[in-house]
Structure 1
């Protein structure tokens, strides 16, 4: 069971709710507003300490909005990992895979995913296996741009055609975010063809509404995939007057839920000791 995304702010006041969600379900999604997570001083020593090796990457380029979004999203990412691990953000270092997938360096029991759209920042975290999250503005125009043919399976296109014209774009945005979340979770991103798999969202009045049947993963011919390893959720979040469609995909690796994911028990012991010792030493 996946829970709705939790709103968080830099003051850390919302983190107990995130830890409670992780304890109950093994997975959580959090979101924040770009303005709230954007630092006033991009050159402050405190920011450099938190971002670590991400700080110079955030300083590359002269495009201020892109730089601001990079820094804010990494702050949310690192504080989310720190809250889950009951560690300080300055004590953790982020690593990135070949596709840009984030992880906590030396930690093999949690998985992270990051997405952002406009003013929304979104992070997914799980101790069960693999997670992917994606966010898009709900009013992003996809229908009418021939996107359905490149994004949807034949069954999904047929389902779109049964909807009133004014509902088709919302359904297409929903499918897009679910497919982005799923391919992020499997580590492929958009390299994996979106027409190679589909989703059954249920009746139009149910799709994406809390309390209704969650999305189901399907084969290209529309038949449901067997097994219960995957869980999906899609929601609509609001920041002011702007609505965002956000989706989460989690694959349960079948190893059971890890009850204790504190940093000292999930980081490789030698790495944890080395990092902690280095941080404790006075600088030369």
Structure 2
């Protein structure tokens, strides 16, 4: 057997414990492959998976391993490794492929893509809590943020809000304004991921009404997308941005004791 093939076999075998537990956890949620127009969202907490981080690491490709090595704090590295390994398990279910063979690659902008497939995907995490989205749609982006925020959202109003949004949000009571600003931030970050630019584009340069349709700002290539606020467990806010060919989405939550 050639050395490259032997290394692939050894890597797959070494990660079997993580993959087996992750697949059982996915089966318990009811996760199934998407049909056309569908998006699946998986929510999980990496804290419950910490002991399997060495096994999960073996699923990552060379670029992901280099990125993992750059984290200053071990907890952040562990979250990254577990999130990306679970991402490959979720994608494997959708693509009917072993997690180690999922064609997950990243464009220079950081946008994930799945060459040779019709699927789109996105990942976000806030602390140890991770959201993974995969769908048979033209574009999608996902974001999750901790609530309450550790920074003052009110201080970022001018950065986050378009001119149309500043007046209505600025008129809200302070506590409500903080929450609505963070929820708006999640919608905008999800939209920027769906458009493939991330925070290189100013969030204040476009409008994002809850449940409404947003179009890319002038000069940015992308398709109109709907931004949907997600109902998550207390302590987090999230949003899904998805192209208008979406028919439905479903949120699957992995139990902490899975």
TM range (shorter): 0.7 to 0.9
Would you say the 8 A contact 2:119–2:135 is kept in 1? Answer: yes
Pick the aligned partner of 2:22 from 10, 19, 31: 10
Q: Gapped runs of 5+ residues in structure 2?
A: 1-20, 218-222, 248-258
TM-score normalised by length of structure 1: 0.68
Aligned residue number for residue 174 of structure 2: 165
Question: Aligned pair in 2 of structure 1 residues 189, 144: CA closer, same or farther (>3 Å)?
Answer: same
Q: Gapped runs of 5+ residues in structure 1?
A: 1-8, 202-213, 221-227, 258-284
Question: Aligned pair in 2 of structure 1 residues 176, 103: CA closer, same or farther (>3 Å)?
Answer: same
Would you say the 8 A contact 2:216–2:224 is kept in 1? Answer: no
Instruction: Name the CA distance, whole Å, in 2 between partners of 1:218 and 1:230.
Output: 7
1:23 partner SS: coil
Aligned pair 1:28/2:55, yes or no? no
Aligned residue number for residue 194 of structure 1: 203
Aligned residue number for residue 217 of structure 1: 214
Question: Aligned pair in 2 of structure 1 residues 122, 57: CA closer, same or farther (>3 Å)?
Answer: same
Instruction: Name the CA distance, whole Å, in 2 between partners of 1:191 and 1:64.
Output: 27
Aligned pair 1:91/2:101, yes or no? yes
Aligned residue number for residue 66 of structure 1: 76
Q: Which has the larger radius of gyration?
A: 1
1:12 partner SS: helix
The structure, 1 or 2, with the larger RCO (C-alpha pairs under 8 Å, 6+ apart) is: 2
Question: Aligned pair in 2 of structure 1 residues 61, 161: CA closer, same or farther (>3 Å)?
Answer: closer
Aligned residue number for residue 6 of structure 1: none
Instruction: Name the CA distance, whole Å, in 1 between partners of 2:153 and 2:122.
Output: 27
TM-score normalised by length of structure 2: 0.74
Pick the aligned partner of 1:251 from 232, 237, 243: 243
RMSD between superposed Cα atoms in Å: 2.7
2:196 partner SS: coil
Aligned pair 1:151/2:135, yes or no? no
Question: How much has 1:124 moved relative to structure 2?
Answer: 1.3
Question: Aligned pair in 2 of structure 1 residues 18, 163: CA closer, same or farther (>3 Å)?
Answer: same
Would you say the 8 A contact 2:23–2:89 is kept in 1? Answer: no
User: Larger helix proportion, structure 1 or 2?
Assistant: 2
Question: How much has 1:41 moved relative to structure 2?
Answer: 5.2
